[in-house]
Amino acid sequence: MGMQLVFIGTIALCLVVSSAMLEQFEQAPKQDGSLSFLVVDKLVATDTAEKPQTVIAEEEQPMNIVLFLAIQSGHCIDDPAFDDSFTKIYTASSLQKQWYSVLGNHDYRGNVEARLSPVLTNLDKRWLCLRSFTVNAEVAEFYFVDTTPFVDKYFTEPKDMSIYDWSGILPRKQYISNLLKDVDLALQQSNAKWKIVVGHHTIRSAGLHGNTDELVKQLLPILEANNIDLYINGQDHCLQHIGSLGSAIQFLASGGGSKAWRGVVNWWKPEEMKFYYDGQGFMSVKITETEIDIVFYDVYGHVLHKWNAS
């Protein structure tokens, strides 16, 4: 299940010219200035997929937006999979919010440009997916980063080389260099109280995939230097929360949308490992000017873990 951000309330979505190269969108917070969102990973094509999220969004914590951490192979122009696993599934009024989506590694298999096509937004106005972009929600700013091109094995392992579509990425080194500069500049220029970076791949993880070394070496130093608050990812099919002794960054994984119960846990330092759940579920976040509240839920909507910072 790819990660998604849901906002409930008046949506003011407009493209503005960012001083960096990253496209920037404006997202209105609630009337009280707060912001609430769901984070989900990979679309699940069942008629019960959105029920727990709907309850949370309607009753416990009305949302503004939804963050989606990976799309899923098959979501492309004129493909019925988009309707069957998105439009026809997330039908509740509480989920008729803006969905911000980031590409995962499986989305680069096949026609990646189709995943990015504005045709999908024409099919469902909630949908927005770009390679990398920022969202200014006043109390918080989000930085969506295209993490797949960082991973060396997708370019070097024979089983992977022939199935990935690198349109718009090559030359790879220049693409990554420009992206890192754009993210660094956008973070430096931000005046937001809370800074949240979103990517499909892990930076820190106790799950099956573990750390993504390329992101640890290239992206993490920029995030630490700019004092971001949260890094949110999918990829590992689990829910987890890892702190950091060296910085204030919280590493949050909401990858439990499908194919969970892997049975793999690489136990982390106990002083940093705050929560790990090898199962399906999702995450909600509420942000105000003074604090941030994070809650992890299982697939039935039962609370598994809470965390607060101010």
Question: Hey, is 299 helix, strand or coil?
Answer: coil
State yes or no: 105 annotated in a binding site. yes
**How far from 36 is each of 63, 64, 183, 284, CA to CA, in Å?**
5, 5, 23, 7
Q: Which two tokens stand for residue 134?
A: 């920022």
State yes or no: 302 annotated in a binding site. no
Q: Which of 94, 114, 95 is nearest to 103 (CA)?
A: 114
Residue 209 annotated as catalytic: yes
b/e 210-219 (16+ beta carbons within 10 angstroms → b): ebbebbeeeb
| Gap between the Cα atoms of 262 and 208, Å rounded | 8
Q: Which two tokens stand for residue 153?
A: 């094995």
Secondary structure in 3-state letters for 157-210: CHHHHCCECCCCCCCHHHHHHHHHHHHHHHHHHCCCCEEEEEECCCCCCCCCCC
b/e 245-262 (16+ beta carbons within 10 angstroms → b): eeeebbbbbbbbbbebee
The DSSP result for 70-136, as a single string, is ---TT-STT-HHHIIIIITT--SGGG-SEEEE---GGGGBS-HHHHT-HHHHHH-TTEEE-SSEEEE
Of the residues 75, 106, 209, 241, only one is catalytic, namely 209
Question: Hey, is 211 helix, strand or coil?
Answer: coil
Quick check: 241 and 294 in contact, CB under 8 A? yes
The DSSP result for 248-283, as a single string, is S-EEEEE-TTSS----------TTTEEEEE-S-EEE
Binding site for Fe cation, by residue number, is 105, 200, 237
Binding site, by residue number, is 105, 200, 237
Residues taking part in catalysis: 209
